[in-house]
Amino acid sequence: MAEEILPAIPLDSWRPTKETLHRYAQIIGKVALAKGIRRNHWWHMTYRLTARGWTTVPLGSATDGPVFTCEFDFFDHVLRISNDRGTQEEIPLGQSVAVFYVEVMNGLRNLGIDVVLAHPTPFDLPDHGRPFDEDEEHRTYDPAAAQRAFRVQSQVGRILEQFSATYSGKTSPVQLFWHTFDVAVQRFSDRKIDMPDSVDLVTREAYSREVISAGFWFGDDKVPAPTFYSYTAPEPAGLADQPLRPGSAKWAVSGAGHNAYLAYDDVRATADPVGTALDFFQSQYEAGSRLAGWDAVGLACHNGITDPVLTSPRLGWPE
């Protein structure tokens, strides 16, 4: 029997494990925030997907201790901290958030890495006021569920890479955001966006340029099921009146605007899950880019090739 491209992952089946992992991810994300070389739109502190889990980008610098990475390995079920001196520390997953936090800080010190977190508490989660080292509540870790969730993220990541390949403008990496625990990719027109002074610094940097985002999350209290999503920011007038593909996709109010949503299980049920997800992302991109006045034709990129001469059948493309 062929392996499912997108395995089932109902939120209720692994929610306690998800809540623990989300806080683990925020701890290491805050390490990346403290030790990464700043990139636009916060790209220095997000995760990249690997064949075994998620990893930070290389952190530290030549004048600030060793260069290092932190990788969550969902096959060995450890956090692996490796430095450029050839040494590493492994912290087992499946501990309380409090114990995990203490062991991460100790592991970093053992590798000669000095890290002080400005805010050692969860960001924008219900327990945002509780320090990580006091969180004994979140400790559930089902290895099979965590590995299954990573498998979903890995497959979604490949779909997003495929979607990303058709755009030649400024594009983010496919990345896991530890704030909202979603895997996403962003396309930018690079038009600057003016925002009121009252807008918080996280939002200001994330949305300082006109952007169309495509992604996936496992669900939360507001959207309690795994869901593909896409949106345009700032939202052009009339966006939520535009048709989406497939027919089961819908617009939903999100904050001051709208998100396009397509249920993960609806995608799984189709004969071509990859094609269905790609068509959904493309339909929102077409609507958003058209209404926002992007040069969609000029920014198109067939299969990752920007020179139209190279797409000629007579030339072919090197394998």
Please indicate, yes or no, if residue 305 is contained in any of the structural domains.
Answer: no
Please indicate, yes or no, if residue 20 is contained in any of the structural domains.
Answer: yes
- Inform me whether the pLDDT recorded for 180 exceeds 90: yes
Domain membership of residue 216 as a residue range: 143-299
- Per-residue pLDDT of 109-133, as tens digits, reads 999 999 999 999 999 999 999 999 9
Q: Is 72 exposed, middle or buried (0-12, 13-18, 19+ CB in 10 A)?
A: buried
- Per-residue pLDDT of 16-43, as tens digits, reads 999 999 999 999 999 999 999 888 887 8
Distance CA 104, CA 27 (A): 9
Is the domain of 202 the same as that of 106?
no
| CA distance from start to end of the chain | 30
Distance CA 37, CA 262 (A): 35
Please indicate, yes or no, if residue 306 is contained in any of the structural domains.
Answer: no
**Span 2-9, average pLDDT:** 86
Distance CA 292, CA 302 (A): 22
- Inform me whether the pLDDT recorded for 204 exceeds 70: yes
- Per-residue pLDDT of 137-171, as tens digits, reads 999 999 999 999 999 999 999 999 999 999 999 99
Task: Tell me if 30 sits within 8 A of 24, measured CB to CB.
Answer: no
Give pLDDT, residue 247: 98
Distance CA 213, CA 224 (A): 20
Is the domain of 165 the same as that of 199?
yes
Could you say which of 134, 154, 176 is where a domain stops? Answer: 134
Is the domain of 275 the same as that of 181?
yes
**Span 166-191, average pLDDT:** 95
If one counts the domains in the chain, the total is 2
Structure tokens at 194: 């003016």
Distance CA 73, CA 52 (A): 5
Three-state DSSP state, 291: helix
User: Before 234, cis peptide (omega within 30)?
Assistant: yes
- Inform me whether the pLDDT recorded for 1 exceeds 50: no
Which position has the token pair 């600057």? 192
Total-model pTM: 0.94
Q: Is 96 exposed, middle or buried (0-12, 13-18, 19+ CB in 10 A)?
A: buried
Task: Tell me if 88 sits within 8 A of 80, measured CB to CB.
Answer: yes
- Inform me whether the pLDDT recorded for 190 exceeds 90: no
Distance CA 228, CA 64 (A): 39
Please indicate, yes or no, if residue 314 is contained in any of the structural domains.
Answer: no
